[in-house]
Amino acid sequence: MLSRLAESYFWIGRYLERAEATSRLLAEHHQLMVEERTVPEELAAAVLLDALSLPPSAATSAADLVTSVVGNASDPATISGSITMARENARAVRESLSADVFEALNAAHLAGIRGPIVATSPAYALYRVVERLAVVVGQIDWTVPRDLGYLFLSFGRSLERLDMMSRVLAVRHDQLWPEGGPVATLRAAAGLNAFLRTQHPMTGDEARRFLLLDEDHPRSMRVCAANAEDAVRGLAARGASDGGDLLREVGLLRSQLEYAVDPAPDEVDLLAELVQQSTARASDLVAAAFFRPSGTIVWSN
Amino acid sequence: MDGEQADAQAVGALKTVLDGLGEEGLAERGRLVDAYFNRQGITFNLAGRERPLPLDLVPRLLSAAEWRVIEQGVAQRIKALEMFLADIYGPGLVLEDGVVPRRLVTSSAHFHREAWGIEPPNGVRIHVAGIDLIRDEEGVFAVLEDNLRCPSGVSYVLENRRALAHVLPELFTDQLVQPVAEYPERLLDALLAAAPAGVADPQVAVLTPGVHNSAHFEHAFLARRMGVELVEGRDLYCRDDQVWMRTVRGPAPVHVLYRRIDDDYLDPVHFRPESVLGVPGLLSAARAGRVTVANAVGNGVADDKAVYPYVPDLIEYYLGEQAILPNIDTYDLQDADQRRFVLERLDRMVLKPVDGSGGYGLVVGDQATDAQLDQLARRVEADPRSWIAQRIVRLSTCPTVVDGGELAARHVDLRPFAVNDGDNVFVLPGGLTRVALPEGSLVVNSSQGGGSKDTWVVAEPDESPPYRPPDRPTPRLTRVLAAVPARIHSPAGHDERMRQQENQQQQAGGECPC
């Protein structure tokens, strides 16, 4: 498989997850800002922008925040930008990607996030985004052969999920809104029902621990790390190995999460930070090993 | 708002937003909210058809001061009714003392001798209550009826709030609305508190009649939001006075059953033998103290419409207090004088069947034909125990969106929900406001074409302490490779040289966003 294709598959996975997770997070954050007006809007907006590594802006209201995070096609940290980037990467591998996946992704891109609905009912607009992305992911599930490309895509998805989950936790809804915060954090991670069925009581600390370490929820960091490790093992089994550094990085992360015993709240924060750092290293490692293979000529003027 | 006293500032802010939307804007949001409920399947069954409970877009406002009265009044009423139930299913002092006529209690269809002597573990029989209130002509909240068996509608309180914030976020601007989302947690805590003594990790389940029940959405909603199992009768069995669920890992014990099935169907051993919805032996298990049935069996005697007139006396008898929330003037038709008084002015009365609910069988005197009233009079003469009469109360009205996005006055009532954990009666701020959508109608039941409103208890600005930002650790987040392959924004047909430059750019930084 061409390195260029591998890189695009990887980024399709990342941008799909980024767009979806950001949409959910924004919808819940916005809902809290609307329903529980105890936190000044400027502060609540700034916190989310910060967690998403978006530049602090003049967002002073819930509506401004939606505009900023929905963003535009040219900023890959925003929802519109992520969808555009996923689609552009899909375009670059169009010859090898299933037509169904491209079509679904293209449709999501063309539909955009626009119209008066974004202002009148952001929650509705964001729900439609998630719905369209679900079609893309469904087509991937149904039509993409489980080859190297798929493994790079899966690895990208797992890494981005880890990254987005650490951002969800970084918002600290529970500190901003002691009443509705924990529920919003769980909803942003699509984990409210999963949490309620297994955990009690509902507190911010319990919610965070759950999203870090749960064994079954597909977005818990522990499950994402295990998925990332599986993808790397799959790559190695098909002859795409970097000699073990990447496997070591994700394997170490997975085992640290898997064998963490009932961490205290501050240890949860430390683990979440570890996830951030490890994800960044893994992303660098995969790029260095597979996307810029030896033989690339580098020169300077 | 006719008869409503919510504080002027909140009303003003609301009005500004609604005026700004205009009729067309309101109609548009109305379509959105219907779509939201349909998509989420938040529906009830009406005559075999699944449909959403219409949500009106204009919230109903209650000031903090008004709410305090309701909150205290509802809690007081539930405490007294708890004591009443404990009394009649125990020593029966209230009957000895003649506060309530014995014939009323013993003739109630919901007085179950089978429940006599069952001691609930923490003394609670009314785990959940919905007290129907109306605001009368004087602007005073009064109790219309008590619902102490399976009051439904609380899921709409939570979903209405979420839906309204979804489709009309700007309404919430400058409003401090007390949140309602904590209800499922409060309910779970109360159910856990009611668990049989000595059970280390009590298991709670919600018992539903099944998917064809009109309130099935609510049953599923509560089970989901409490994180407990939603069971049907066929999922349960009793052995040796213990209730078990059938699971793939074998039997699992159930310690608290929040049942949404009527008493009659609950246990075919004691009640209707043909019931397939219930669990044979459940009542024996409850009597043995191995399972808590919530709400308790036999509560219906306390919300019997014929017992209702005596509730203010019960409050005084048990608590030594005056009722905070008054009753509506109600006539006991078994009393010959009162019956004659009522029959002489049937056209100015509301007559309700004592066993009815959902507005079925109810007759509003000034809206009935003479023939209907004649027939009614004969039925009352024949069986006075089955009816009560109340004077017609002009329910208060709230502005409501009617066809085409216009605002018009429609009659409303209010059902606050209360949860009793044995130490405390928690009243969910707000409650379900039901609105009679047809013009002039006084019947708000969803089964009779009623809708609902989101109900806001608006905190006074000086009540909420100024917000202090919490001590947040600054997260160290870096957008990991927010990069894109640089080629993607190159013009079509780019040459090889350009590609190489792009490659170089990638080597150098790899973080170029475009």
- How far is A48 from A119, CA to CA, in rounded Å? 18
B487 touches chain A (CB under 8 A): yes
Give the pLDDT score at B276: 84
- pLDDT grade for B5, boundaries at 50, 70 and 90: low
Tokens of B176: 């401090």
Reported in sequence order, the residue ranges of chain A that DSSP labels E, i.e. its strands, are: none
Q: For B460, which DSSP code?
A: P
- How far is B442 from B26, CA to CA, in rounded Å? 24
3-state secondary structure at position B289: coil
ipTM of predicted complex: 0.85
Cβ distance B179 to A283 less than 8 Å, yes or no, reads: no
Cβ distance B182 to A179 less than 8 Å, yes or no, reads: yes
For residue B8, give every residue at least 6 positions away whose Cβ sits within 8 Å of its Cβ, in sequence order, or none.
Answer: none
Q: Which residues of A touch B178 (CB under 8 A)?
A: none
CB pairs under 8 A between A and B: 140
Burial B382-397 (b: 16+ CB within 10 A, else e): eebebbbbbeebebbb
Encode pLDDT of B370-418 as tens digits. 888 888 889 888 888 888 899 888 889 999 998 777 889 999 999 999 9
Cβ distance A120 to B506 less than 8 Å, yes or no, reads: no
Question: Considering the entire predicted model, what is its pTM?
Answer: 0.87
Q: Which residues of B touch A176 (CB under 8 A)?
A: 470
B250 touches chain A (CB under 8 A): no
Would you say B37 and B160 are in contact if contact means Cβ atoms under 8 Å apart?
no
Of B29, B32, B179, the CB nearest to A179: B179
Give the pLDDT score at B473: 55
Encode pLDDT of B83-107 as tens digits. 999 999 999 999 999 999 998 899 8
First vs last C-alpha separation in chain A = 31
C-alpha to C-alpha distances, B465 to A38, A142, A179, A297, B115, nearest whole angstrom: 9, 54, 15, 63, 48
- How far is B460 from B458, CA to CA, in rounded Å? 6
Residue B298 has a CB neighbour count (10 Å cut-off) of 23
Encode pLDDT of B337-355 as tens digits. 888 999 888 888 989 888 7
Residue B467 has a CB neighbour count (10 Å cut-off) of 12
Say which residue the tokens 């439904």 belong to: B152
Q: Are strands B256-259 and B204-207 parallel, antiparallel or unpaired?
A: parallel
Of A7, A31, A279, the CB nearest to B165: A31
Angle at A106 between CA A102 and CA A108, to 5 degrees: 120
Give the pLDDT score at B482: 41
Would you say B84 and B302 are in contact if contact means Cβ atoms under 8 Å apart?
yes
Task: For B122-143, give the DSSP string.
Answer: TS-S-SEEEEEEEE-TTS-EEE
Residues of chain A with pLDDT under 70: 293-301
- How far is B160 from B155, CA to CA, in rounded Å? 8
Percent of chain B at pLDDT exceeding 70: 87
Of A51, A170, A283, the CB nearest to B480: A283
Of B29, B179, B473, the CB nearest to A180: B179
- How far is B33 from A94, CA to CA, in rounded Å? 39
Q: Which residues of B touch A183 (CB under 8 A)?
A: 181
Phi, psi at A163, each rounded to 5°: -60, -45
Measure B474 CA to nearest chain A CA, in Å: 8
B369 touches chain A (CB under 8 A): no
Q: What share of chain A is helix, strand, coil (3-state, %, to 5)?
A: 70, 0, 30
Q: Is B432 left (phi over 0), alpha (psi -120 to 50) or beta?
A: beta
The residues in B 180-199 lying below 8 A from A, measured between CB atoms, are 181-182, 185, 188
Of B286, B298, B303, residue with least CA distance to B120: B286
Percent of chain B at pLDDT exceeding 90: 52
- pLDDT grade for B317, boundaries at 50, 70 and 90: very high
| B500 has a pLDDT exceeding 70 | no
Give the pLDDT score at B513: 39
Of A120, A122, A287, the CB nearest to B29: A120
Of B144, B57, B156, B64, residue with least CA distance to B431: B156
Q: For A56, which DSSP code?
A: P
